[in-house]
Amino acid sequence: MATLEPPKTIMNDDGQPNGEVPDLSQDALLDMYEAMVTTRLLNERGMKLQRQGRIHFYVGSMGQEASHVGFGAALKETDWYFPHYRDTGVAVLRGASIEEMVHQCYGTAEDHIQGRQMPNHYSFKDINFYSISSPLSTQIPHAVGAAYAAQIKDDDVVTGVAFGDGSTSEGDFHVAMNFAGVWNTPTVFLCQNNQWAISVPTEKQTASESFAIKAKAYGFDGVRVDGNDVLALYQASREAVEKARNGGGPTLIEAVTYRMGPHSSSDDPDRYVPQEDLEAWSNRDPIDLFQAFLHEQNHLTESEDEALRERIKDEIQAGVESAENAEGPTIDSLVEDVYAQVPWHLREQADDLKRFYGERPDMDGGH
């Protein structure tokens, strides 16, 4: 077997460039950094809120901020993004507010999904951010289908879709890859290889020498990139997006990274993650790497960095206070938003439920 080439990088372990840096403005670089820091701080607060019993669940992305932010930054606003549940930073980058994301985690009446989704499973139609789904891989064929529709309509749209290494063991992954290859769809796939499918390590997930190499079986290119290097992710993604937009077909990007936290708030990684591996990857924290780069390039001072983090924390706190003072979704919302007119049997069930709560003054009868 041929020796596996190391993932592509642009920054060294100290955050200093080892190659050509992408042509990005200072504002664009700082927007990416802010999205990464916001994701980390939301992760920290979300896990605490769950432990305190104030929200029911949280899925973090500690250690993977560079993977999805670098990928998302390479797409146009008019392109569609099909996320998995560790892609908070792309929603932030595209303009989703912290407050609306916190309301979604609480499932309030101000959550535009009306509490119908699990916490931090966002959906933002206005910024072309597709609904996050808990079942693995379901978003991958959706992304290919949307790209095929754009191709038929001659729309200038590329679809980007992200998923974890565990998702490559699902049938939907193979179906979507095959369809994309056969029809040459303008789709860019991002496999965030964080080394774990919950508690299942990579070596029990695939016998392939990499995940990127799987693209060859479907007739298109695959590339391995350092998933903790946001600049390398951006560069590889931009090249793949431009190729797709110009009719060159799909690309599979494997972002080699590490999940530095639990799979979710329901998981205990101490039972299976080797501490020495976690410590090694912590020394290459993607936010620390990018922070060092920005400081060295005089794009961000320490005082500006501290002010940024304090502002984000304040916005998160304001979002928590807003959500905890908000009403919950109404009973009527259970049967709305599916039909133009609510069918009689659903209306009857909702009315029965309201009567039930009306007879129980000890319970919240309206929500």
β-sheet bridge partners, residue 129: 81, 124
Going 141 to 142 to 145 to 151, the CA torsion angle's sign is: negative
**What is the side-by-side strand order in the sheet with 251-256?**
80-82, 159-164, 187-193, 251-256, 221-226
> Quick one: which H or E segment has residue 226?
strand 221-226
Active-site residue numbers?
Answer: 259, 263, 272
Distance from C-alpha of 115 to C-alpha of 101, rounded to nearest angstrom? 12
In contact, 301 and 341? CB cutoff 8 Å: no
Q: Report the candidate in 24, 2, 3, 92 with the shortest Cα–Cα distance to residue 232.
A: 24
Closest to 82 in 3D by CA, of 127, 123, 130, 121? 130
Q: Which amino acid is it at 296?
A: E
Q: Whole-angstrom Cα distance, residue 268 to residue 199?
A: 9
- CA gyration radius, the chain: 21
